[in-house]
């Protein structure tokens, strides 16, 4: 089962290396990792997706909390808001552009670049949405694709 951890850390050089080194030494695999500053520029937030059971997540959280640069570790629950951004460059001659544009519209994605033979599409959503548009665009020939990895935040109080 996949778990998403939100890890608040001091925003300075070497912290990412310490956190990723901890995962490496313990043999925990990172499915995705996204890092960015928070509303406080002295603090960064790492969103780490790991695959494992409750025991593994508990062990990872305990080990992370031992690092001096780690401020807080939170296991993001399933009913949170999770998004991923992807850019997909696909083959697109003038004859097939309208077909690709239909797919882009269905997924509420955007065409962010176009050339004589390619279109670059931006999509955000959960990982299943990104995977779904990837599958739909695959027959046209995906030249290049980049994904940010998941970012997540708990929903506001109800």
Match domain 2-76 to its CATH number in 3.20.20.140, 3.60.15.10, 3.90.1200.10, 3.30.70.260.
3.30.70.260
For residue range 129-143, what is the model confidence (pLDDT) as tens digits?
999 999 999 999 999
Average pLDDT, stretch 54-78?
Answer: 90
Mean of pLDDT values over 58-62:
90
Q: Same fold for the domain at 2-76 and the one at 81-154?
A: yes
The top-level CATH class assigned to 81-154 is alpha beta
Mean pLDDT of the chain, nearest integer: 93
9-25 average pLDDT score:
92
* pLDDT over 70 (residue 126): yes
Residue 100: alpha-carbon gap to chain centroid:
24
Model confidence over 82-117: pLDDT tens digits? 999 999 999 999 999 999 999 999 999 999 999 999
Tell me what pLDDT residue 109 has. 98
**Cα separations (Å) of 13 from 25, 42, 67?**
20, 12, 14
Domain ranges of the chain: 2-76, 81-154
pLDDT-derived band at 158, boundaries 50, 70, 90: low
Whole-angstrom distance, CA of residue 30 vs CA of residue 94: 40
Taking the C-alpha atoms of residue 100 and residue 36, their distance in angstroms, rounded to an integer, is: 32
For residues 151 and 108, is the Cβ–Cβ distance under 8 A?
no
Q: Please give the residue that has the higher pLDDT: either 144 or 60.
A: 144
* DSSP conformation class of 25: H
E-assigned strand segments in 19-150: 30-37, 43-51, 70-76, 81-91, 110-114, 118-125, 142-147
pLDDT attached to residue 10: 95
Residue 26 pLDDT exceeds 80: yes
Q: What is the pTM of this model?
A: 0.81
Residue 7's pLDDT band (boundaries 50, 70, 90)?
very high
pLDDT of amino acid 85: 96
């Amino acid at each position: 089962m996949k778990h998403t951890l939100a890890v608040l850390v001091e925003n300075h050089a070497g912290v990412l290396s310490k956190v990723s080194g901890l995962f490496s030494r313990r043999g925990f695999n990172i499915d995705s990792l996204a890092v960015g500053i928070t509303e406080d520029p002295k603090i960064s937030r790492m969103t780490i997706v790991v695959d494992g059971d409750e025991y593994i997540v508990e062990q990872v959280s305990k080990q992370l909390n031992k690092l001096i640069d780690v401020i807080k570790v939170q296991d993001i629950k399933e009913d949170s808001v999770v998004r991923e951004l992807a850019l997909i460059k696909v083959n697109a001659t003038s004859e097939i552009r309208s077909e690709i544009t239909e797919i882009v519209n269905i997924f509420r994605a955007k065409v962010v670049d176009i050339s004589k033979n390619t279109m670059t599409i931006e999509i955000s959503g959960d990982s299943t949405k990104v995977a779904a548009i990837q599958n739909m665009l695959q027959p046209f020939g995906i030249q290049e694709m980049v994904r940010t990895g998941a970012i997540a935040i708990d929903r506001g109080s109800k």
